Structure 1
Amino acid sequence: MRRFGGISARGISARGVTGRGVGVIGAAVVLLFIGFRFGYPDLALLGTAAAVAVASGVVFAVWRPGLGVERVAEPDRVARGEPANMTLTVRNTSRLRAANLVAVDRCGAASVPVPLLRLRPGRDTTVVYPVPTRRRGVVPVGPLRVTRGDPLGLMTLSRTYGDATTVWVHPRIHLLRAVPAGMARSLDGRIDKVPQGTITFDSLREYVYGDELRRVHWRSSAKVGELMVREQLDTSEPTIIVLLDDRAAAHPHVKDGTADSFEAACEAAASIVAAAAREDLPVALHLVSGPAPGTFLDVLTEAGLRGGDLTQTLRSLRQNRLGDTLVYLTGPGGRADLGAVTGLRGAYPVVIAGLFGDPDAAPVTTGGGLIVIEAEDGAQFAGAWDGVRGW
């Protein structure tokens, strides 16, 4: 990903007078007052010199160098723990003066120093630094902050250059070899379980040029007075619904702003989505806290612990019947909700629950055909998933 900033500063982030500058200003005021008030020309001269130094410092600090900033993230989307680098190129677009500045680039919560010593007009300098990928999430990078001060250290002025960009640190994906074969109640009233699905009647619509005549429903066409065509639906193609429990109450063990159980649940969700995509199976991702628009991996990258109403979410899933295989991923705080999830067996022939971060608790014993996988992390979940024989 490339981001190129304009040749001028985008904004002023800090402006100030240093402690030395405050002292010189105070001295100038006192010397000028005493010198002119009581007739001491030497003191007045010193006060004037101090005032000139302050004015020169302001002019020097306010001068705005022209800098072009270009960023290249390699790559801009990466799995957690994998390497990612940011290449920053700064060009001096001024025609007359060399830049001698102090610059830092923001990378997540850290600051990266960027040397801009004697950067001549038309020249550039390049800095390559790693982007932290130890934690899942969106890492903001930039903008470049350039601080300029006068030679006497009386004034400083900071400006930002270039655009900010982001690096997406996706959850790890673990290989899942097994995927549900598909089980759905067809509109014809039977239960099918076949990998390729079946075709059954869904609805009628008006004939459109190019439709096959064998799909014309002649009896309805005679009643309506125009050609009506049968719409058919593949009713038993396996459809996987992944429900990620992102409630803070479901993942109570938070350390340094991160709950290990939630990170493991995100990895499990990413692994299921990737396995379904590999097998070209329909899959949908839902969060307990609300809708999940966007690509699945980006949604999982941005996901965090929030509030949510699990009861309302389960009610909506039961009424809409979005698929035939439901996978519910939760943490230690969601153990008590597994009974409510079991109630979805009437709408979803296969219901699987992944319970993370509760290794010392007693094994889950639930009835109603609920398949429970207890795991400490995403890798352990993947191994247990491949051993399931209940779908």
Structure 2
Amino acid sequence: MSALTARGVGLLVAAVVLLGVGFRFAYPELTLLGAAAGIAVGYALATAAWRPRLEVTRSADPDRVARGEPAAMTLTVRNTGRLRAASLVAEDRCGDRPVPVPLLRLRPGRDTTVRYDVPTHRRGVVPVGPLRVTRRDPLGLVTLARPYGGTVPVWVHPRVHPLHAVPTGAGRSLDGRVDRVPHGSITFDSLREYVVGDELRRVHWRTSARVGELMVRENVDTSLPRIVVLLDNRAVAHPERRDGVAESFESACEAAASVVTAAYREDLPVVLLMADPEPSAPDATGDATGHGGGPLDRLAAARLADDDVIDATTARLRRERLGDTLVFLTGPGGRDDLGAVGALRAAYPSVVVGIFGATEPAPAGTAGLVVIDAPDGAAFAAEWDGVRRW
């Protein structure tokens, strides 16, 4: 993006006026001054238009962190030109914050490296980049800014508070323990591509012949409890703001991350849902660390939505019966919807409700629900481990 500075605009207007007056009234001196001004503007445009050949690489260390943990970005700029050294004004973009990058007399074939901290004091996805290089002519008439390199996201996950207890749901083994079977053998769940080490007796030959590659059956053990975490991301459920941030929603995200992480630690199936689902985010969980669009990545990117679709969400949960334990995490504005959530006990034998930031206790009509009133995620974890009904 190029633009004339105020000085450049004034000089260009003066050039046009001087040339017009000089030619109109035959004043060669004015014509000469106008021509000189026009040449100066043209020189400035030509100088600023020179595009340096820069190669920009960046890496985040690490690219996924919990809120408050340190993260750094390493930016390397290399001058791939062959003739001219680059002396430029550049800045990188780290979220909403510009980061100056010195590029003074960067010779051809040389590179410079800058390392700076990425802010992680808030949950979210911090976009870093692109590098913005600004060129100015010596007279200060023209500025030209160009982007270099791409954008790298840094995922700031919610804090995870350790949970020592997990729901056992409706399915138990005869000795009272939850059997942990990573690849169950009772009920068919889905088909996936064959990987080295899979048993050939699990190959689904008819589908393999149709798609042209080996496909194997993925089974699940129905005796394992299945946990459904429903995060209430409706704006009406979190009405209070502090510096533009709904602290009750941040606490609910921390609680959701804690439950999901505890379920993965115990090898229990878990599904993370949003009350107002994001179109681009799948409902199925991924890697526990958040890689590949996993639940922690989804929690980092979660935002409050203006739509109030709790009735449609509860209807879907009742219809699909995604598990046997439902964990509903909401804010002060979601207390009035506990009746609709409690009606799901016919489909989910165990229903746990976490209410964050409420100044009053849970209303009547919550019989049969495990209700945890907590000011933040840490208090939720402490009360969660104190529940005796797992």
TM-score normalised by length of structure 2: 0.84
Aligned-pair CA distance for 1:347: 1.6
- CA shift in 2, pair 1:113/1:265, >3 Å: same
Identity %: 61
Using a 3 Å threshold, how does the CA distance of structure 1 residues 192 and 339 change in structure 2: closer, same or farther? farther
Distance in 2 of aligned mates of 1:177 and 1:60: 65
Could you say which residue in structure 2 is the equivalent of 1:116? 103
Which of 59, 65, 84 does residue 52 from structure 2 map onto?
65
Give the equivalent residue in structure 2 for 1:253: 240
Q: Which residue of 2 aligns with 1:332?
A: 332
In structure 2, the CA distance between the partners of 1:202 and 1:135, relative to structure 1 (3 Å rule), is closer
Contact 1:142–1:164, Cα closer than 8 Å, also in 2: yes
1:322 Cα shift? 1.6
**Partner of 1:196 in structure 2?**
179
* Equivalent residue runs for 1:1-391 within 5 Å: 14-184=1-171, 194-196=177-179, 210=201, 234-290=221-277, 292-293=281-282, 294-306=293-305, 307-358=307-358, 360-391=359-390
Amino acid at match of 1:300: L
AA of the residue aligned to 2:388: R
Write the distance in 2 (CA, Å) between the matches of 1:35 and 1:250.
71
Distance 1:201 1:98, change over 3 A: closer
The one-letter code matched in structure 2 to 1:41 is P
Root-mean-square deviation (CA, aligned residues, Å) is 2.5
Query: After alignment, is 191-200 or 176-185 more displaced?
Result: 191-200
2:83 maps to amino acid: L
Look up the equivalent residue of 2:387 and give its one-letter code: V
Q: Distance in 1 between matches of 2:59 and 2:269?
A: 34
- Does the CA contact (< 8 Å) of 2:227 and 2:271 recur in 1? yes
Which residue identity lines up with residue 288 of structure 1 in the other structure? A
| Closer/same/farther in 2, CA of residues 315 and 37 from structure 1, 3 Å limit | closer
Aligned partners of 2:106, 2:5: CA distance in 1, in Å? 25
Contact kept, 8 Å, 2:179 with 2:224, in 1: the verdict is yes
SS of the residue 2:263 aligns to:
helix
Mapped to 1, the partners of 2:357 and 2:350 lie a distance apart of: 23
Task: Sort the Cα spacing of 1:101 and 1:324 in 2 relative to 1 into closer, same or farther, 3 A.
Answer: same
Structure 2's unaligned 5+ residue stretches are: 189-198, 203-217, 283-292
Distance 2:137 2:294 in 1: 49
Structure 1 residue 312, shift from structure 2 partner: 1.9
Amino acid in structure 1 at the alignment position of 2:75:
L
Flag the 1:232–1:121 CA change in 2: closer, same or farther, 3 A.
closer
Greater strand content: 1
Deviation of 1:311 after TM superposition, in Å, equals: 1.6
Of 122-131 and 261-270, deviating more is 122-131
Residues 182 and 195, structure 1, Cα contact 8 Å, conserved in 2: no
5+ residue gaps in structure 1? 1-13, 212-230
